Amino acid sequence: MSKEVVRARWGVVLLFWLNGVAWSSIVPRFPEIKTALDASNTAFGLAVGLGPVGGLVAGLFTARLVRRYSSAGVAAVTQLIGIAGLSLVANAPTLPVFAASLAFMAAMDAFTDIAMNAHGLRVQKLYGRSILNSFHGWWSIGAVCGGFLGSVAAQAGMPLWIQALAATFVFGGLSLFARTMLLPGKDGDVDGGEAATRARPQRRVPAGIWVRLIALGLLGASVGLVEDSAASWGAIYMDNMFAVIPFVAGLAFVALQGAQMIGRFTGDAVVNRIGARPAVTLGVSVAAVGMALAVAFPSPVSTVIGFACAGWGIATGIPSAMNAANELPGMAVGSGLTFVTWLMRVGFFAGPPLIGIVGDAVGLRWALIVVPVAAVLALALTPALTPPRSARPEVLERPGTR
């Protein structure tokens, strides 16, 4: 690879890492925020669940922004603005303000998420092989780093506003630096005539493609619900169910993200060897079994292990769904990816309030049964990962072999 392409790959890596570390640094402080706001499980779950509404709205416009300003520019700028939103979340005086702050961050995250994945797919095309899972692996590294930073800050009693302000300066500055590393030009310029052809989509997308897009989006939404369960409820569940210190309470989230990180860094090799559908099928099966056992036999150890199984199991789910959507024929550049990413956010929207409502009705222990059920739903949707006959191969040929 040329130096420009290698540098762009590391720029995308930095974007993914920042996207994981910034948001995750506040997650271990959720028990403190919930207590300070005097919120019930249902109210807190609804507040967290309403946050992704901002992402659902923003996601509708991301493809147009990417085509106009490039994925590189959109990703870096919206990431910087989103990181600044940490201070809004940390200093929210009321539950409605907390929910509105989460919605604002989710809106910025939707722009960043789609744009950085679009740029990652652009770099992947130049590499000629699957590398998207490794980008998501770096997001998981960021999430683990953020989880540890937040847990340590909670244990040390650091004021939330100081933590958020420091994160804004450090992570925001790195986001601006990442922009200088990315590929120049607009995304439609990549790989010449092929991209130009895809930029002129069919006027009427076949019904079969829409069905596949919806299935891919619901697959991602199911996986997203599993992933978000640890972020929204992992620390609260550990704190309510067991007598553990704040650092241990944050380990449910860290376990999921740590195992997901391992799964994603090994995921490209697995996908390149056996294909996306078998890899995701194996993974979500492990996630379903692991979380079901954690609910059946509750303890701090079994809970951490269950979330670790869930993290490893869902590792390749979202990257595979994104890649499959991006390769569908008849779609404008970025449209398939944007639609599926938008629908994925349904999982992040529905998961927290659903677990909160069930938790208030029957207890948080049994509310977590939602997680293995979501994994089973993802398993049923894995056939959508098999590309249609008219689509290009999912795993690209190496440069110089065409």
Specify if 393 maps to a domain. Answer: no
CB 268 within 8 A of CB 135: no
Q: What are phi and psi of 40, to 5 degrees?
A: -75, 170
Query: Of the candidates 270, 304, 225, which has an alpha carbon nearest to the alpha carbon of residue 49?
Result: 225
Specify if 401 maps to a domain. Answer: no
CB 279 within 8 A of CB 330: no
pLDDT attached to residue 334 = 67
pLDDT attached to residue 367 = 80
Assigned token pair, 175: 């986001």
Report helix, strand or coil for 363. coil
Query: Of the candidates 231, 242, 169, which has an alpha carbon nearest to the alpha carbon of residue 30?
Result: 231
pTM (2 d.p.): 0.72
Provide the CATH number for the domain around residue 317: 1.20.1250.20
pLDDT attached to residue 355 = 77
- Distance CA(190)–CA(117), nearest Å, equals 15
Specify if 97 maps to a domain. Answer: yes
Q: 383: which residues sit within 8 A by CB, 6+ positions away?
A: 215, 277
CB atoms within 10 A of CB 6: 14
Specify if 195 maps to a domain. Answer: no
Specify if 394 maps to a domain. Answer: no
Specify if 305 maps to a domain. Answer: yes
Assigned token pair, 330: 């008849």
pLDDT attached to residue 332 = 67
Helix (H) or strand (E) holding 374: helix 370-381
pLDDT attached to residue 196 = 42
CB 146 within 8 A of CB 22: yes
Region for residue 129 given its phi and psi (left: phi exceeds 0; alpha: psi -120 to 50; beta: otherwise): beta
Query: Of the candidates 126, 4, 2, which has an alpha carbon nearest to the alpha carbon of residue 402?
Result: 126
What total number of domains does the chain contain? Answer: 1
Query: Of the candidates 309, 209, 320, which has an alpha carbon nearest to the alpha carbon of residue 274?
Result: 320
What is the mean pLDDT of each successive set of 10 residues along the chain, which is 402 residues long?
90 94 86 86 79 77 82 92 90 90 90 90 86 86 86 86 90 92 75 44 67 89 84 76 75 84 87 87 92 87 90 90 81 75 74 76 79 91 80 42 36
CB 20 within 8 A of CB 140: yes
Specify if 402 maps to a domain. Answer: no
- Distance CA(320)–CA(311), nearest Å, equals 15
Q: 230: which residues sit within 8 A by CB, 6+ positions away?
A: 252, 253, 255, 256, 257, 307, 310, 311
Specify if 59 maps to a domain. Answer: yes
Half-sphere exposure in the Cβ direction for 91 (13 Å, CA): 10
Burial class (CB in 10 A: 0-12, 13-18, 19+), 35: exposed
**Domain extent at residue 130:** 3-181+204-385
CB 340 within 8 A of CB 214: no
Report helix, strand or coil for 260. helix
